[in-house]
Amino acid sequence: MSSNISPTTWGKYQLVWGQQTHIMGIINVTPDSFSGDGLYTSDETVVQRAIEQAQRFMRDGATIIDVGGESTRPGGAVLISAEQEVARVIPVIQQLRKELPSSAIISIDTYKAEVAAQALVAGANIVNDTWGLRQDPEIAAVASQHQVPVILMANMRGFRKREIVSDVMRYLAGSIELALQAGIHWEHIILDPGIGFGTTPAEDLTLQRRLGEFRSLGRPILLGTSRKSHIGRILGGLPAGERLEGTAATVVFGIAQGADIVRVHDVREMARVVKMSDALVRGTYMLS
C-alpha cells in the first residue's frame, strides 16, 4: 500500500510513510500495567532493565521506543502526579539517550505538559498523548515549542458516543485543530484511533475493520491493539500474556487497512508479522 503522505522530518530524525510499517516498542515504567510487563519496582534496577529491553527491541526491529510512567489500564489504573511520573520516566529516558544509537527515536507516553517538557529535554523525540491534547491543554504548546511530532489518540472515556467511527473521527479532527492552533506542524501529526480507551469490544472490532476510513484525515495512523482485552475475550478469556496470536491477527489486518505504526509489547514476534505483511500489502521485501 503506497502513501501520498510526506515524510515526517524533525531535527536529524525522519519517519517515511508507505514504504514500511514502523514498530513502536512499549517500555512500561509502571507497577500496574494491564499487560503484566510493568518494569517499575522499588529497587534500583528499573533503569537497567528498561535499557536492556529497549536495546533488545531495537535489535528485533523497533523504530520507536515508547516510554510511559502511568498505567492507562481500564478499570483500576492508579493515577499519579506529574512529579511521580517524572521520577519514573526521566532517569530511563536520560539513560536511553546515552546508550541507544543516536538515530533511535524515543517517545514519551503522557498527557501531562510538565512530564512531556522534561522528557523532551531529557532526550525524547515524540509526544504520545493518550488524550489527544484534551486533558492538559499546555501539552500542545510544549510540543510546538520543541518542534517535535505528536501522536494524537482518541480517548472515548466519558465521551457521549453515538456511532463509534464518526465519534472517533470527530475527536481526532478536533485534536488536529488543537494541534494546528498551537503551532504544531501538519507534518508532525500522527493519529491513533484509541482501541480500548472507552470503547467496547464490539466498537474495538468496528474501529479495526474500518481503520482505513481514518486515512481520510490525511495523517499517518498508529494502531495499538497489542494484548488488548477484546482479544482475550474473543479468544475465550485468555490472559494478557497469552494474546500473541490474537495480536498478530490485528496487526496483519491493520496493515492491510493502512496502519503506518504498530505499538506492540512483543517486538521480536511482531517484527516478523510486520515484515511478512509489508511484503504482501506494500510489496516491500528482500529474499535471502
**Which sequence positions are flagged as catalytic?**
228, 263
Contact status, residue 201 vs residue 230, Cβ threshold 8 Å: yes
DSSP secondary structure string for all residues of 167-233: HHHHHHHHHHHHHHHTT--GGGEEEE--TTSS--HHHHHHHHHTGGGGGGG-S-BEE--TT-HHHHH
Can you tell me the distance from the alpha carbon of 234 to that of 173, in angstroms, rounded to the nearest whole number? 30
The count of C-alpha atoms lying within 13 angstroms of the C-alpha of 169, restricted to the half-sphere facing its C-beta, is 16
**Taking a C-beta distance cutoff of 8 angstroms, is the pair 141, 113 a contact?**
yes
